[in-house]
Structure 1
């Protein structure tokens, strides 16, 4: 498997797990502190890089069987700024 696919799948898995965790289990501020620096790295990618990551994220959504997790995954490209234009 391609290293980019592995990295994106790992990121998606972590983000979705954190997003779906109850606020009592992980403080939302802590979750944001974990999530934001990683999301900023994706925003620094070239347009082509952002398109590739978006494609890989959507591929993860297609593979996800759990509807709630799939919904979160489908929202990730926008949530991490991949759809923003330069």
Structure 2
């Protein structure tokens, strides 16, 4: 597995775990504070870069066996504004 796939898989794992955690276990404001800086980095990518990250994330979804986690992964590109390519 190449480095980009490993990094994307690690990012997706952390984000989805935070997203699916009960609000009583992690405050939603804290979750946003954790994830927003990473999302901002992705928004700064070129259109080609955003498409590449989106492809890597969708690849993670294909490998995910848990339906709830798969749905969260599939929603991730839109949630972090990767699909708003100029």
Contact (CA 8 Å) 2:57, 2:77: kept in 1 or not? yes
Cα deviation digits, residues 11-61 of structure 1 (max 9, x gap): 000000000101111000000000111000001111111111000000000
Gaps of 5+ in 2: none
Shift of residue 70 of structure 1?
Answer: 0.3
What SS does the corresponding residue of 1:54 show, helix, strand or coil?
A: helix
Aligned length: 86
1:3 aligns with 2:7: no
Q: Distance in 2 between matches of 1:12 and 1:33?
A: 16
- Specify every segment of 5 or more residues in structure 1 that has no aligned partner in the other structure, as ranges: none
TM-score, scaled relative to structure 2: 0.97
SS of equivalent to 2:75: helix
Q: Note if contact 2:39-2:80 (Cα within 8 Å) is conserved in structure 1.
A: yes
Q: Name the counterpart of 2:66.
A: 66
User: What's the C-alpha RMSD, in Å, of the aligned pairs?
Assistant: 0.6
